[in-house]
Amino acid sequence: MSALKRALRIGGMTGLAITGYAAYAQYAIRRFEHLDPLNADAPGSYLDIDGTAIHYVEAGRGEDVVLIHGWNGSTFSFRYTIPELAQRYRVIAIDLMGYGYSARMRDADYSLT
């Protein structure tokens, strides 16, 4: 096989692979876009604490179960857990200050150092 034919074949296969990847990436973005909490409506309510809006979700009846997310999380992390627990309990999930739909405190230092 000549070098030109080989180069054209490799170039064509590379082009097909890139086109396929781009098409799949667009499909995946559209398919999972609803999972982005910034694209979702904020279910729940807000509580004002010293001028800072704190977001929380409340569901169900019964004994209280409080869900508090970890670092870099939000109530969105519990989107599947809340309905299950709410079948037997009163569930309260809180977005900590500066996370999820809760506001940041004014003049607060959020650095890690």
Mean pLDDT of 90-98: 92
CA angle 83, 71, 33 (to 5 degrees): 55
Is the pLDDT score of 7 beyond 70? Answer: yes
Q: Are 64 and 93 in contact (CB under 8 A)?
A: no
Domain housing 15: 3-35
Q: Per-residue pLDDT averaged across 73-91, rounded?
A: 93
pLDDT above 70 (res 35): no
86 and 54 within one domain: yes
In a domain, 17, yes or no: yes
If asked whether residues 28 and 57 sit together in one domain, one would say: no
pLDDT of residue 65: 96
Tell me: pLDDT of 36 over 70: no
> The whole model's pTM is what?
0.59
Q: Which residue has the higher pLDDT, 13 or 29?
A: 13
Amino acid at 43: P
Whether residues 55 and 29 share a domain: the answer is no
Question: In the chain, how many domains are there?
Answer: 2
